[in-house]
Structure 1
Amino acid sequence: MAKREGNQGSTSFADYMNSMDSRKIQFQPGQMIESRIVSISNDTVFLELNGKSEGILEKAELLDKNGELTLKEGDTIKAFFLKAQNGELHFTTRISGEKADLSILEEAYKNHIPVEGVVEKEIKGGYEVAIGETRAFCPYSQMGIKRSEEGSNWVGKHLTFLIQEYKDNGRNLIVSNRAIEEALQAEKIAKLKEILKEHSIITGTIASVQDFGAFVDLGGIQGLIPVSEISRERVANINEVLQSGQEIRAEIIKIDWQTERITLSMKSLSADPWTEAAKKYPIGSKHTGKVIRITDYGAFVSLEPGLDGLIHVSELRSGDKYNNVKGAVKLGQTLMVKILEVDEIRRRISLKPASSAEEEAVSKQYMADEDPQDTYNPFAALLKKNK
């Protein structure tokens, strides 16, 4: 028994020595580590160093703009050694305020540690930035993810920078906010590449509307819905269909990660009427449609959303010697038309106005099937029947 107790004592002493050795881990200021988050308290994040020792990080560094934690226990994080104090090893993800003495800023420059600063004023060629008690210079071209214009409203903002030049013992610092933003954007793109695929269905918010289409916020990158991909129907005024802030569903029809361009389609989520066009609109059949566009060579008539037919100018009679199309039909006019040809491959339907005799015959046939005491508009009824 004594021998067993002695072995237990020896093992315990060895563990104690190993524990003591682990606390002798030496870090250089600015040294980067990649560590697992062990636990999170009210104001402190504890980082695993070697299984027996922990580093600490201020919880505030991991909060987003809404005060929510961006990481959780068990997640891996990159941090930089700041200092050893009262037997504790302090780490940071960025340097700011009281941390920003010149020795720390030099390490931040050498080890690419982000630093926080306040844009104090605009000066020639850029901005003066306060990092703690130190003043730095940020050129116009290094403010924001894209080259900024002079006079942009950056003054007073609290931003994160990388030190690009450290000269004259810290008296001459040049910093870049753009480098930080580009790195964050690259991380977002890497995550989005795992989520966004061609033919995926996404939900997004309209960021802006232009004449040629609408840009959609996809959470870190914008996709474009060309005006031709909004609806099966022809969109004459995009602002009547889409507005900024509107939530939409669309299909990703093309992705180019090199140029960060994503093309979306709302139209593809609705059924294509051309797949059943020949069956639904056989040659010789008569239908009611609305004139939606007039050109020099004829008038386009909408038979249903996304399915338009053309009445060629030769089929229209305006009564004047020039046979002006606009004299024969009016925009928005409802017409009874006859199907001359359906070309599903070329997506074309040829139409002609139904003659008065044909219209009358269709009306009589319909009325013969109805109660003679019932009064109907034959053309409205025909439209209802064809639907």
Structure 2
Amino acid sequence: MSEEMNDVEVKTFEVGEKVTGQVTKVEEKQVIVHISDSKLDGIIPISELSSLHIEKASDAVAEGEELELEVLKVEEEALILSKRKVDAEKSWEDLEKRYNDGEVFEAEIKDVVKGGLVVDLGVRGFVPASLVEAFFVEDFSDYKGKTMTFKIVELDKEKNRLILSHKAVVEEEKGKQKNELLDSLKAGEVLDGTVQRITDFGAFVDIGGVDGLVHISQLSYEHVEKPSDVVAEGQQVKVKVLSVDRDNERISLSIKETLPGPWDQIGEKAPKGTVLEGTVRRLVSYGAFVEVFPGVEGLVHISQIAHKHIGTPHEVLKEGEQVKVKVLEANEEEQRLSLSIKDLLEKEEEIPTDYELPEESKGFQLGEMIGDQLKNLNK
């Protein structure tokens, strides 16, 4: 075909027109295509091959590939074409639907740049560093080539702005898991968990994507001054679900109730007659409660405190005092322990009521005896 005929045919195309072309040659900085239903060739500059920066044309297309293109310029003997514009136009339509639907989709990380990651979705998508993960990442170099899930969080076709987030996907998934877990949890259930945080009033335990609180009073049967004395962050623990408040997303847990109870096998730990050491915890009008094992208090009835008669336990005991006690009775079922302090004390000497005077004194009156003693003193 002559140059004139070529020129005529070229002029039948207009800027913005869509054409189909087959790649006939891939050069370093441009691609030559043959326009379908014509005898013309077109040129795609490397800058019009992809929405991303590429070093060589072969990174984007291969010889023999069929492409949908848009006419950028009509030159004398060739058309300057764009693959990027057609891809972008198609992509924006699809991306707007994904954005409106809140769709989660997969995409490959094409590049790591200052401030975040770059994804090719027919349009350049940017993932700011703060939206990559739900945790802080110092170095993103390993992310190139990785396929991840994303949601579109910002879309502006006019400004060619597309912002993606993987963090939003993670948090949404966590939210779903949390709701599912809250719905499935039942009071009384025993679960495995991991201690996440320790506070003055207890410990927060992760039980599979949601945290529950083990109050300080539920950490142990023993008295706990500081939660950190009993548990550590990262520690694996068994917990019992006490209650679930779905509306406020609050879960109350107990470690204490998964442990052997302090009264378990009390009959074996404290059989009748056993002597134990304990601490006086409470004094009441009818006796004293003495803690002999963590969480186990036994009653020393007022009649079992001393051999002599006492009006109140306060006369001989004080709270916090260490005492020795003897087990009188242990009842595991009723969680009752009867103790005695008196049985471990020596009985005080008492003057018997049937005491008689010595034989030699029987002929004297008591008054006479005292009188004689007074005379001796006055001498």
Calculate the TM-score normalised by the size of structure 1.
0.44
Instruction: Name the larger-Rg structure.
Output: 2
Structure 2-normalised TM-score? 0.45
